[in-house]
Amino acid sequence: MTIDLQISRYIERWTTSPFAAADGQPWTIVRDAEALVRSAIAHLGAEYRIESDIAVHASATLEPGAVLKGPAIIGPHCFVAAGAYLRGGVYLDEECIIGPNAELKTSFMFKGSKIAHLNFVGDSILGAGVNVEAGAIIANYRNEQDDKRIRILFHGEVIDTGIDKFGALLGDGTRIGANAAIAPGAILPPNSRIGRLQLVDQSPSAA
């Protein structure tokens, strides 16, 4: 593979995050998300309330009925709504919003990013200022294919990730419209715009 997919090229805040040393291919990062988040928890300050493997900043808001399964870090001024479900290694930077009945699985979200409500985001990395409107899905598994291994057609080159679960890398400022579907293995550069009901599928089989 000749394409450079270091996360820091898509997400500026990655270089100052607890995960800066792990800069590399995004599917490798999400594969190791649980270990990375657990390690980061050990270095948090006193402004975090830590219970077992869940750390919540004192300024964050968790509504009654939100479900968190560690490891998880909920950063300053984040909001997690009733009915939200976070699991599998989750990191929320500052001022992130997880709306009602949204599910975030094995994912990283950076400053000011939002998933509205009725969303599923799996095995993904969302840059700062990303907005995912209601009902949009970032899928993480090729259920429709016999060969589940995720391959990505990117700039004319086929990238074989070697894994079967990876959602997307969304660069800073990306916007995804309501009820859009992002198929497993998507790489969207900063400030991408995906319309409502649009399908993004970067698999070679979809070309």
* Spatial separation of the C-alpha atoms in residues 8 and 147, rounded to whole Å: 30
How high is the pLDDT of residue 1? 46
Given pLDDT bands bounded at 50, 70 and 90, which one contains residue 149? very high
Residues 170-191 pLDDT 10s: 999 999 999 999 999 999 999 9
* Spatial separation of the C-alpha atoms in residues 139 and 167, rounded to whole Å: 5
What is the DSSP pairing of strand 79-80 with strand 120-122? unpaired
How high is the pLDDT of residue 5? 83
Given pLDDT bands bounded at 50, 70 and 90, which one contains residue 68? very high
Average pLDDT value for the chain = 95
The amino acid present at 122, given as its one-letter code, is G
Residue 1 lies in a domain: no
Residue 2 lies in a domain: no
Is this model's pTM higher than 0.85 or not?
yes
How high is the pLDDT of residue 157? 92
On whether the CB atoms of residues 107 and 90 are closer than 8 A, the answer is yes
How high is the pLDDT of residue 66? 98
- Catalytic: which of 43, 57, 117, 155? 117
| Residue 97 pLDDT greater than 80, yes or no | yes
Residue 12 lies in a domain: yes
| Residue 169 pLDDT greater than 80, yes or no | yes
Domain that holds residue 11: 7-206
Quote the number of domains for the chain. 1
How high is the pLDDT of residue 121? 98
CATH number at residue 22: 2.160.10.10
Mean pLDDT value of segment 122-134: 98
What is the DSSP pairing of strand 67-68 with strand 151-154? unpaired
Catalytic residue at 57? no
Residue 88 lies in a domain: yes
Given pLDDT bands bounded at 50, 70 and 90, which one contains residue 23? confident
On whether the CB atoms of residues 177 and 196 are closer than 8 A, the answer is yes
On whether the CB atoms of residues 159 and 1 are closer than 8 A, the answer is yes
